[in-house]
Structure 1
């Protein structure tokens, strides 16, 4: 007797494309052992072996046949039906992510729909809509950029359309923050008075008009002259004229804006004062000589801190401020027989201390 063929299909029905596995392992031998199996899938495809797998690309009814052959050349055939149906058309699936070119405004919002997938038909185009009303596309590119200038949370949507007109929509959002408020930038210089414009004793003023506002307008300027004198804050970028004693000072201005942010700038002021001493005889007698020492100022105003020496009778200088327009006197008695008397003046002038010798 010959062999008996049997065939089993798994699965026997489904949507195209359908992958079917045909098995002939249940076939039985007759008088001679089985030596071969041959499958024909009904669409022109064939395969050998006890088991074979084939994919039906198109919908239809197919008869799958196996031919079993034994060692004596006897054969047996069995068939089974495969029912392949057309799959329902599927639209695309939209995927969207949103990023930003930088964290703070202004920034570009970057929308990326490249992760979207096609369904039954290829994707044809992408249309983007941003929450501020801006639209980009429809276009072939899966990405779009849009610049925003204000802080806020922005949403963007994409509509993906395939070549059959089917669509899918996805949304994403991104946060753009406001930039940190920038403080003002202070600048400071000192100025001499215009010729004849101010009184002689007012010799310098501070000017901060070169200061630059940051995120908010500048509202006040506070001047510190560096010698203990501080002006109250005002909206004027220039100080009043100030009479500096001779010396070196570190003046400053503190600039404040509407947000309360501040900036400080400094400048170094060098004021040079020089002292001059002269003498004249007021009277002579057998008891000695009375001298008048004249102390004068040149350059910037300076403070006479002390006058020392023997025989001082009248001191009209200690504690006085002297400038180019002022002077003071000290009267000194030098007794007879005294070789000399040295009068020393200590001041804030550059040439301090200064001394002068008096003889009887």
Structure 2
């Protein structure tokens, strides 16, 4: 439960059951009126560059703060909000009492993922790609200290503890690192880096390792106590995890199974489960409040409210259109839902009742002293001193109680009038068609429009390459989104289904179609946008007969003339060319959640009359017969697939052609080499680009890597050349998390060492010294030659480990306490081999 107060002292006057108002700030900005049981949350709207403060009791938007459009993420701390912009690498703070925005502080390069993690009296700013951690003053954002983690940080691999502690998981090493004001502590290779999430349970940090299927507690020296089981499959990539705020428990939700699983850290049990009834759905990050777990269902647009004690779903309100990715935020006993891409948001109570909220009017954009939000995607320049609060107001007269500041009115932005589109890229101009009045019809596009449902200003239109067509002549049609400012795009269309008015149909944002008879046809499109909204625009196309003569101007009367008879030669029927089918399937588009291949048979020719096309996509699905020669098809596997088209002409004659559709295939220059030799990996297919996402040394159902490495993902150029360590390593390429890592893009690289180096050993200048003396450690063996990179470690008599020295084969250190110290070293050579020594004991006497 949060209580709101300005910088001045809060005066609570409970007279006749009426709560007093909160005092204004010292700067004279009037504070808002709140009740003593106030619970509020900051919700971000990156598309319009705003942060909105929403009151959880009334559902009212208290204020809006202009930030500028960017890659915004926010974290609430008390009544304020820290906002990171990964597009610029900057961090700002919104004061919860005055709504002032601080001057921006830079902590990363533009385009790098920047995370902010408040922890009491310290704020941690983490540049995730580099692993740099800055400890900040929570009020001024001044840097107190900066540390470097041993590796970059994975998503979900950070959690804070208490007032000044941060835990992180190395994205490639699986190391657990603890950061506080005194420095860093590293626990080597503690968890699976690819599938470990850090959360808090009853206020204490825990690591949820889905590969090991266990939850472990984290203490000052790393993992403490026995682990608790997690009842999930090691291969289930749909699992999301959240910890309980009040009890030692962790909740895991599986979208593929449609269940919520409970791991009780107090008893060590993990057998309790709740059937959510949504198997196969895409579920988002759950939240927990007052013993209820709230699960966002992206597939249905619902929030599943789970009573964990009763073991059942007590409510499933619909809060968003289907297929919308939205977020949940919990503040006290109130949960807020928010679509960062639109104005939709709201509040959910513990019993599942919802209160929808419109964060801003889609047709208006507010103006504030901090600068207007730019819908064109331009970022406002950074003010040296930060922006002013978005709500106006002056200091009240002396002795007068300040009143609530209402939500500032938004200024209406002028709207452009809707006009027909003349050109819609990439639809090309079609051929000129003779009209019935003898003139040549222009090839400009004609459109109709339909508003996208959901309250937005943009409209969806159909662009046609020509207003008329002859029988058998194909037209090109495209569905496009036209914003309120006239901007045209096809990139936000998720799915388009067409009906051409003659029984033909097709899918894809851009299609071609030919009609077999003259007439006026109604063309309609069923369009679903990426934000979950939908539209159904229509247009009409006039089709004329192929032999309609142009109507000419009446002839001029001249004196009579004698016209000699004309002999008409006999008519010969033109020869029919052979029917030939041509097919290609080597283009398309790949996103995080889908892969579409463009199947193109437009090169087919011959036969009599118009052609129809029937497609077999090779994955058990078909389309047609229809008049569209080009279709888009989505695949859920990497392939390869054999695609077949059957074309049929007006006489019933047919022909077939096949093509291979491959989403992604990984090839190696060699799969068996000796140590030191390099191997080049090359990805090909529709989803292959300038870079490769590789999973190295991962575990699969068919077997386990023998390289001894924990599986991890890397992002490398395509092609990628590297040397490999001795042993056998499994490598796969993928374009998204939904890629199933099938055999078609997985291979095994075997590296042999005909003359392995001697084992890595550590010797000491002395194994028995007195306190204050130094000891020199020397490493021998383990690598070929002297090109190794060494990492030294020392464990004090209490067992607490720390990193030592530099990267050479020699290390001199001075123990700071008596007892038995244990030293070890790891070494990597240029061929990718790794060796690790046994521990060497050194006794330190008083």
Higher RCO, Cα 8 Å, sep 6+: 1
Structure 1 or 2: larger strand share?
Answer: 1
| TM-score, length basis structure 1 | 0.30
| TM-score, length basis structure 2 | 0.15
Rg larger in structure: 1
